[in-house]
């Protein structure tokens, strides 16, 4: 009786791997072993950078809020402390959005806090 080699599952596995490696340069998209290494590393980078993106956006929002608040003679930290003490609960993303796209509304928030 001939030995069964399991061609279909292994070929599917390899094709799935090569599909993930499509667009890579040279042997990284054609050779199984190199493609596997490249795909594994790419997936690690993707996992890491999904978390880093959240940190990057938070830093961007803080920079924008700080720049907008400095126009009114406050620093970011004092502004955030006064927001908290006056029980205004608005997140940094929305504050940065207001500072960029709706400066009038942002000024009202700063005025309500500064009093």
pLDDT digits (tens, 9 = 90+) for 60-83: 999 999 999 999 999 999 999 999
The pLDDT value recorded for residue 25 is 95
The domain spanning residue 106 has which CATH number?
1.10.1900.20
Q: What is the mean predicted confidence (pLDDT) over 85-90?
A: 91
- Of 48, 105, 46, 113, whose CA–CA distance to 75 is shortest? 113
Query: Across all residues in the chain, what is the average pLDDT?
Result: 94
Q: Is residue 104 domain-resident?
A: yes
Q: Is residue 76 domain-resident?
A: yes
Using alpha carbons only, what angle is made at residue 27 by residues 25 and 28, rounded to the nearest 5 degrees? 60
CA dist 68 and 47 (Å) reads 33
The pLDDT value recorded for residue 35 is 96
15 pLDDT band, cuts 50/70/90, is very high
Q: How many independent structural domains does the chain possess?
A: 1
């Amino acid at each position: 009786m001939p030995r069964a080699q399991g061609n279909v599952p292994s070929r599917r596995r390899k094709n799935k791997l090569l599909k993930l490696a499509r667009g890579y340069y040279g042997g990284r998209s054609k050779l199984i072993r190199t493609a596997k290494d490249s795909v594994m590393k790419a997936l690690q980078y993707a996992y890491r950078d999904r978390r880093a993106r959240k940190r990057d956006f938070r830093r961007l929002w803080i920079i924008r809020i700080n720049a907008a608040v400095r126009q009114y003679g406050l620093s970011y930290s004092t502004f955030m402390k006064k927001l908290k003490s006056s029980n205004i609960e608005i997140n940094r993303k929305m504050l940065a959005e207001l500072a960029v796209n709706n400066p009038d509304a942002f000024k009202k928030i700063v005025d309500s806090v500064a009093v």
